[in-house]
Amino acid sequence: MAAAGGNDVNSDDGGVTDSPKRGPTLSTSTSSFEALDPHDPNLSKLATAMFEKTSDYLIGELTLTQEDYKLLEAMNNATVTKYTDMQQIATNIGKSLHELNSKYESLRPMLEQIDQIEDSVSKLEQAAYKLDNYSKRLEAKFKALEKR
């Protein structure tokens, strides 16, 4: 492969060519572009613009990815805080529940007495109604005997 503007000096060397300005070089493509060779200035401007826009695009993509990771980090931190708060609340609820159970156990004998008293009062009330009905029947019989 011969470079443009170069002479093929060593054809047996596997692609080694002479550069007009620097001597023998290895050619990896069919185009020959060297930094010091004269070239189209418009092409140079377009290439520079392309590289700048590609650079801007890549910087934008990397910045976007970085911002995504920052957002994820903020969300993770907020989640950790929320779960820590929820754990504290659950711990407090557990303690309160334990205290309430202890208080209920200490009040259980009194509550059982209240239940027994309520049963006794209910029985007394039924007995009072029966006694009231009985006394009304006795009064009615007494008045009936008194009229005779």
Question: What's the token pair of residue 13?
Answer: 């060397």
Alpha-carbon distance of 73 to 79, in angstroms, equals 10
* Amino acid at the residue 140: A
Provide mean pLDDT across the span 35-50: 81
For the stretch 82-110, pLDDT in tens is 999 999 999 999 999 999 999 999 999 99
Report yes or no on 13 lying in a domain.
yes
Report yes or no on 130 lying in a domain.
no
Report yes or no on 128 lying in a domain.
no
Asked if 50 and 86 sit in the same domain, the reply is yes
Give just the sign of the alpha carbon dihedral 141, 143, 146, 148: negative
Is the pLDDT confidence value at 39 over 70?
Answer: yes
The whole-number pLDDT of residue 146 equals 85
For the stretch 118-139, pLDDT in tens is 999 999 999 999 999 999 999 9
Quickly state the pLDDT bin for 35 (edges 50, 70, 90): low
Provide mean pLDDT across the span 10-23: 50
Quickly state the pLDDT bin for 40 (edges 50, 70, 90): confident
Specify the number of domains making up the chain.
Answer: 2
Q: What is the DSSP letter of 26?
A: E
